[in-house]
Amino acid sequence: MQQRERFVETNGIRMKMAEVGSGIDLVFIHGLGWDHTLWSDAFVHYGDRYHVVAGDTRGHGESDKPTGPYSIRQFADDWLGALDELEIEKACLVGFSQGGMIAMHLALDEPERFIGMILASTVCRTDIAGGGASSDRVAKLRDEGAEESARNSAELIFSQNFIKQHPDYINSFVAKRAAFPPETLVAAMEAGSGFNLCDRLSTYKNPCMIMAGSVDALTKPDAVGRVAESMPGSQFVTVEGAGHMVPAEQPSVFYSHIDRFLADHIAPAVASA
């Protein structure tokens, strides 16, 4: 199925968006340092059944990269405007890592618009993440240089088994991350500083599933589990053997969990609306 790409004007920037298919809207939001291509498997997996939407968050991919500072609130406003331009009125959100933080903002601010949420490898408060404070990661990026920092990031976000078994993928990741404009990456890293939605999540009433990699060193399972604990009625699943990058390391497991969530919660809700 042919993927459609376009730029939209939102919140003072041009944002790159990609979409495929038709039907129920599934909106996929990538994490720090990635872009919409993280969701290539989602386009293939869901394109014949759903309207799949992904994009490049401010400072990432082909979207505009204005000088920082950035914030999660700002990212969420960008995404909201982009979805307005795409005329998406009801959607299920899928947010990975920093994209999960953005998704939480959207779902809490617009509960009638976002009818369900799937979160992976994310936290509701940045100071409980297991991979070190963002200020420490920024300092290391500036001290180590782009390539060494990218290599160290790979050691943090991928499981050791995945690193050993997929050296070509890791080398590709390192090259792409090292090419990321450093000050833009720093601004994106600092966007999560002070982020805390744990208390607000108790008001969230729509269906939600949270996924954690069992060996995630960046957002440890206990920290990801805090998101589920903050939302009564949410579902928490652990992907055994996966590091932070659950969608890349174990895509079949990742999407099978999403399949069940959509079948149990989203499709029935839309059919009865």
**pLDDT tens sequence across 75-88:** 999 999 999 999 99
Output 108-115 pairs: Cβ under 8 A, ≥24 positions apart.
Answer: 108/197, 108/200, 108/201, 108/203, 108/204, 109/76, 109/80, 110/80, 111/204, 111/205, 111/206, 113/89, 114/90, 114/206, 115/90, 115/91, 115/206, 115/207, 115/266, 115/269, 115/270
* 193-216 per-position pLDDT tens digit: 999 999 999 999 999 999 999 999
CA dist., res. 234 & res. 229, Å (int): 8
Residue type, 273: A
- Percent of the chain that is helix, strand, coil (3-state, to 5): 45, 20, 35
Q: Provide the CATH number for the domain formed by 4-130+193-272 in this structure.
A: 3.40.50.1820
Q: Return d(Cα 104, Cα 148) in angstroms, integer.
A: 32
Asked whether residue 236 carries a pLDDT value surpassing 60, the answer given is: yes
- Is pLDDT above 70 for 143? no
What is the identity of the amino acid at 190? Answer: E
How much is the CA Rg of the chain, to the nearest whole Å?
17
The dihedrals phi and psi of 187, each to the nearest 5 degrees, come to -60, -40
Rounded alpha-carbon distances, angstroms, from residue 194 to 5, 75, 102, 117, 138 = 33, 15, 14, 22, 15
Write out the two tokens for 268: 């029935």
Other CB atoms within 10 Å distance of the CB of residue 87: 7
What pLDDT does residue 41 have? 97
Per-residue pLDDT, 146: 81
171 pLDDT band, cuts 50/70/90, is: very high
Residues listed for the chain:
273
- Calpha distance 233→82 (Å, rounded): 30
What value does the mean pLDDT of the chain take?
Answer: 93
What's the rounded Cα separation, in Å, for the pair 183 and 185?
A: 5
